[in-house]
Amino acid sequence: MAISEKETEFLSILKKITRYEEAVSLLFWDARTGAPKKGASDRAETIGELSAVIFEMQTSEKIKDLIESLSNESDHIHNDTRHAVEEAKKVYDLFSKIPAEEYQAFVVLQSQAETVWEEAKEKADFSLFAPYLEKLIDYKKRFLGYWGYSGNKYNTLLDQYEPGLTVEKLDEMFGKLKEAIVPLVKKVGQSSSQPDTSFASVFFPKEDQKKLSLFFLKELGYDFNAGRLDETVHPFQITINPGDARVTTKYNEYDFRSALFGTIHECGHAMYEQNIDEALSGTNLRQGTSMGIHESQSLFFENFIGRNQSFWNRYFTDVKSHAPEAFKTVDEDQFYRAVNESKPSLIRVEADELTYPLHIMVRYEIEKAIFNDEVTVDQLPDLWNSKYEAYLGISPSNDAEGILQDVHWSGGDFGYFPSYALGYMYAAQFKNKLAEDIPEFEQLIEKGEFQQIIQWLKENVHVHGKRKKPLEIIREVTNEELNVQYLIDYLTDKYETLYLKP
């Protein structure tokens, strides 16, 4: 099928948008990895100006006309173009309802707020960040007024990160998960079979941890010709362009587990980005289909590979070689149990597999309360602390380990947090199917041979980019709808074995 003139024009606009998005992504990466603080204000204005140009292209009369025209000719255009038109229409319908000057001001505020959040976290002082958070929430509430909503107000925000999911569905799944996890967390905490983790707090120099992180990135198949590793306050992965998917981590010299599993987690994100079909380059389809599916890949690498006993049967000696003094008296079983330790903790990115979903539920419930006008910004720290006490039995001693610990709200990313728990559910369901298709899954991990596993993920998940919706992928790959029971069974079996069985 020949590409029509309208298709060519439409794709040309998409390609131009991606070029501007690349510049903005590079500025965001720079801001989060050590850019001079004195340049923050001008950098925010630059990001705002570039984002305004992207906004204008996404909401122009030209793109509107092309979307309408190509939608009417959908049977006569390429499949990828049709999907790209659908995605462009969704963006147009959202952003065309927002006045351009309002959107630009919001983007500038996002960049400013992230810089202030870093300072507030460093000083453990929510009052520094609160005025910015209040403005971000006000903007998002105003945007919700433009967008409208069906059912719960939060549904519109949720749909932007996880198409097809609603509060009603989430409440049902989260309710089942919480019902299974909370009593298990209590039993694990009361178990007499607790791991010895004392070695984890022995000094492990940052430079040696970096070498270990680089080692595991290479082992897992991360392409360093299409990425790099850097240090940051809050670990993240960012795609600059199809050949540049960067990862970051945060080192703790008195607990190596933070950087180790943070690096493996971000590797999963990057592997997804590096394996999307190159034919989608320059379009709005060359990115993960949703944040939930994206998280499924990072959590698959972090937990179903990185915390797997077979993985440490293979790699324990490699870890010891990077820290011979710290780990000289540690055996493999002690190490495995230590990296799978479960206990209530305050920091989400350092949480264990079992308690991790409870961290997400706290944030989800708070965000719902914010956008249903049930709580004000000044009440948020107390609400945060009370929910940690209720779900995990612990309470933050300061704002840094409480309400300021995550970067997401500084970017106005409300509706994002549920993706972390959804990703965990997706990952467990994918793993169950992958183990059926590749029965030697455990043996491959123990040999350090990940190519077959990664190829399965690539063919079933990665390659599609945004061609397919998240729930479409889970149905096609596993032959059923998203099912939280796989995650419940995985966590129950693993932690009963580690803590409750003789």
Q: Is 83 annotated as a binding residue?
A: no
For residue 331, give the amino acid letter. D
For residue 187, give the amino acid letter. K
Question: Taking Cα atoms as reference points, which of 456, 426, 407, 110 lies closest to residue 289?
Answer: 426
Give the chain's count of helices (H) and strands (E): 20, 3
- Are 356 and 410 in contact, with CB atoms under 8 Å apart? no
State how far the Cα of 347 lies from the Cα of 97, in Å rounded to an integer.
37
Two structure tokens written together for 477: 């790959």
Two structure tokens written together for 42: 């001008």
Read off the DSSP letter of residue 300: I
- Are 445 and 308 in contact, with CB atoms under 8 Å apart? yes
Question: Coil, strand or helix: which one is 45?
Answer: helix
* Residues near 60 by beta carbon (within 8 Å), at least 6 away in sequence: none
Q: Is 295 annotated as a binding residue?
A: yes
Q: How many CB atoms lie within 10 A of CB 64?
A: 16
Q: In terms of DSSP H, where are the helices of 393-462?
A: 418-437, 441-447, 451-460
| Kind plus residue range of the DSSP H or E element containing 271 | helix 257-274
For residue 500, give the amino acid letter. L
* Residues near 386 by beta carbon (within 8 Å), at least 6 away in sequence: 395
State how far the Cα of 342 lies from the Cα of 319, in Å rounded to an integer.
21
- Are 425 and 356 in contact, with CB atoms under 8 Å apart? no
For residue 466, give the amino acid letter. K
In the block, residue with structure tokens 């698959």 = 300
Q: Is 408 annotated as a binding residue?
A: no
Residues carrying an active site annotation: 266
CA 201 to chain centre: 27
For residue 36, give the amino acid letter. P
In the block, residue with structure tokens 């983007």 = 107
What residues are designated binding site for Zn(2+)? 265, 269, 295
What residues are designated binding site? 265, 269, 295
